[in-house]
Structures are given as structure tokens and as C-alpha cells.
Amino acid sequence: MTNVAARRSEFPSAGVAFGRLAYIGIMLFGVLVAVTIAFPSVTPAKLFSALGVGGVAIGFAFKDIFQNLLAGILLLIRHPFRTGDEITSGGFTGTVESIETRATYIRTYDGQRIIVPNSIIYTEPVTVITAYGILREQYDVGIGYGDDVSRARSIMLDTVKGIEGVLADPAPDVLLWDLAGSSQNLRVRWWTKPQRGDVVAVRDRVLQSIAEALVGAGIDLPFPTQQILFHDQTEATDGNRRQQREGWPAGEDVPEARPLSRVELVRSDGAGAAQDGSAAQGDGSSPGPNRSQDR
């Protein structure tokens, strides 16, 4: 008896829904009986025939209502999620307040109530955030190319393991994820409870602790950087400039490479000054269009 009572209390919305459906069915049956008694000429066969013809028109008129009703019944029977679960449906994310025969009520994280028709929930993808009791979060942290990846990985991993709210099983991990233009990106991943309040609080502690630990250990957290070069402002070892023209017109008139060590500064107006006094166009070559490129 205790188990039966627990199952009934676990799905209160289903009991309410089926109670309403039973009430509607009894009322309709009572109306039919009353009509046949009040009008003896109306036989059950004639009544059901008339209802069959009228049912088609009623079905078209209330198609959306019947779709939502059927979807609501299926949701209450199959229970893909329950009241109190956090879900994402139709672009809305929040906590399920109630599941009714027509619609599902969702309370968003910013305190709004969203009423989603059951036909939408049943036919479109729904993400149940709290389905398994745990949730994985991740964040990419960039370190300088001059820093030791293994050392930075060890510091980050030790830091994350000691943070309140980070689960020990599954354990957190740190992976070298990307060699970007200005940094080596390490992806730190950790598991926590799936409720939104826990996820946000743990993420805040993780990011703050990692930043403080890396800076305290002398690990560089670089800003995005960019190096701007002129056409002929490259080393001769970069390749055959007549085959790799970098925007120069085809032909033999391609200037030779000018070593970077000879470049002293580049003024804001685009002109370059070399240590030997030559212009930025190259060693005596005809001027060509300047182009900025990422290196």
C-alpha cells in the first residue's frame, strides 16, 4: 500500500487529468441518456449517426485543442519529464511547474511563466536538464606559447578538484584543445549538480580560482595579438616569392625579401623606415601596394 501511495503522489497531475477526462465522459453520457428519454423518437442509432456527422465538423473546428489534449494525455502517461524538472523547449528554459491536459507551465530562471502547448512539447525536441542528476560544464582557458602546458594543466586540475560543488566522480579533467593564434587553449571540464543555481555558483568559483592560480604561478593569460607586415617584410627562407607572390602581380618584377631584422619601425601613415635608410618598398624595387596580413 505504501508503494502504491508513493507512486500516486509522484504523479499528481496524471490523476487530476484522468479525473477530468472521466468527468467529461460521464457528463456526455448523461446528456445522451437525457436526450433519448426526453425525445423518445430520437433513437440511439439516430443520435450516434448525427454525432458522427457533426463530429467531423467539430474535429476540424477544434483540431488544435484535441491535439493538445491528446499530447497532454501521452505526456502524463509516459512521463518524459516531471514537475520540478528543468527543461528547454521551444527556446525557453526553466523549471516545470505543472503538466496539464492542454499545456505545460514553465517558470524561467528570470521569474517568467511560459505556457507551452503540449502538442509543441510532444512533437519538438525537449532537453531535460535534470534527467540524470549531474551535468557537465566546460570552459576554455588560453595560456601563452612560452608557458609549459603540462604545468598549467596540473595547476588547473588541482585547483578544480578542490572547489566546492565540483563532483569527484566523474572526475574533472583538462585537455589541450586548440592551438590558437595568440594562445594555447586548455579546456577544463567538470561535473556538478544540474540545478541552475548550483551550475552558476560552481562556474563562478571555478573561473575565479583558475585565474588566480595561473596568475599566481606566473602563467601568462595572453590577450589576442596581431602582427602587421608589409609585402616584402618577410624572411628569404619563407619561400620562393615568385611562386608565393602574397598579392604581387604575376611576372618577373617581384621584389626580393627584405629581412625583418632591417626593419626599425613602421609609422602610422604606412611608410616603413629600415636601418640602412631604404624605403619600405624594398631594396630599390619599384613601389607596390602594401597589404596587411596576419602572421
**How confident is the model over 94-139, as pLDDT tens digits?**
999 998 888 999 999 999 999 999 989 988 999 999 999 999 999 9
**Do 191 and 202 meet the contact criterion of CB atoms below 8 Å apart?**
no
Neighbours of 192 (CB within 10 A): 21
Instruction: Provide DSSP, 193-217.
Output: -SSHHHHHHHHHHHHHHHHHHHHHT
Instruction: Give this prediction's pTM.
Output: 0.62
Instruction: Determine the average pLDDT of the residues in 202-229.
Output: 90
Bridge pairing between strands 184-192 and 113-117 = unpaired
Per-residue pLDDT tens for 26-55? 776 676 667 677 766 666 666 666 666 555
Give strand pairing partners of 114. 106
Mean pLDDT in residue range 227-240: 57
Q: List, in order, residues 6 or more apart from 155 with CB less than 8 Å away.
A: 213, 214, 217, 219
Say whether pLDDT at 178 is over 80.
yes
Residue 230 or 184, more confident: 184
Does 289 score more than 70 pLDDT? no
Closest by CA position to 141, among listed 222, 199, 216:
222
- pLDDT value for 41: 66
Q: Mean pLDDT across the stretch 283-288?
A: 42
What's residue 252's pLDDT?
61
Q: Is the pLDDT assigned to residue 22 strictly greater than 90?
A: no
Percent of the chain whose pLDDT exceeds 70: 57
